[in-house]
Amino acid sequence: MIFTLCLDSCCLRGQRSHVSRVSCFVVLLGLLVPRLSFASLSVPDIPHIAGYFGTKTRYEEVKPHLLRDPLSADPSVLRPPPAEHCSPVHLTAVIRHGSRYPTLKNIRRIRKLSELVRTEASRASGGSESWLQEIRNRWEAWYTEDMDGQLVMKGRDDLRQLASRLASVFPSLLSEENVRKRRVRFLTSSKHRCVSSVEAFQEGLQRESLGLTSDLCVWADAEPEYSHEVDDELMRFFDRCRGYVDGVENNRTALLEVEKFKHGEEMEGVRRRMADRLGLPHHRLTPAFPNSVPKQRSQTAFPNSVPKQRSQTAFPNEVSLWRLAGRRFRTSLIVPYAANLLFVLYDCQRGPRLQLLVNESPVRFPGLEAEDAPLYRDVRATYRHLLDGCDFHRECEGRAVGRAPNTEL
Q: Quickly state the pLDDT bin for 280 (edges 50, 70, 90).
A: confident
Widest Cα–Cα separation across the chain: 75
Most confident region among 4-8, 317-321, 339-343 by mean pLDDT: 339-343
Report the phi/psi class of residue 140: left, alpha or beta, with left for phi > 0 and alpha for psi in -120 to 50. Answer: beta
Statement: residue 294 has pLDDT above 50: no
- Mean pLDDT score of the chain: 76
Statement: residue 375 has pLDDT above 60: yes
- Bridge partner residues of 187 (DSSP): 2, 229
- Which residue in 97, 263, 282, 393 is the catalytic one? 97
* Domain segments of the chain as ranges: 2-42+51-99+156-217+227-396, 101-149
Point out the least confidently predicted range of 130-139, 281-290, 341-350. 281-290
Statement: residue 350 has pLDDT above 80: yes
Bigger pLDDT: 260 vs 33: 260
Statement: residue 73 has pLDDT above 60: yes
pLDDT at 139: 79
- Tens digits of per-residue pLDDT, 197-242? 999 999 999 987 776 554 444 444 557 788 899 999 888 888 888 8
Tell me, yes or no, if 65 is annotated catalytic.
no
CA dist 248 and 268 (Å) reads 26
Write out the CATH class of domain 2-42+51-99+156-217+227-396.
Answer: alpha beta
CA dist 114 and 117 (Å) reads 5
In sign, the C-alpha dihedral spanning 314, 316, 321, 323 is negative
- Tens digits of per-residue pLDDT, 148-181? 999 999 999 999 999 999 999 999 999 999 988 9
Statement: residue 378 has pLDDT above 50: yes
CA dist 131 and 152 (Å) reads 27
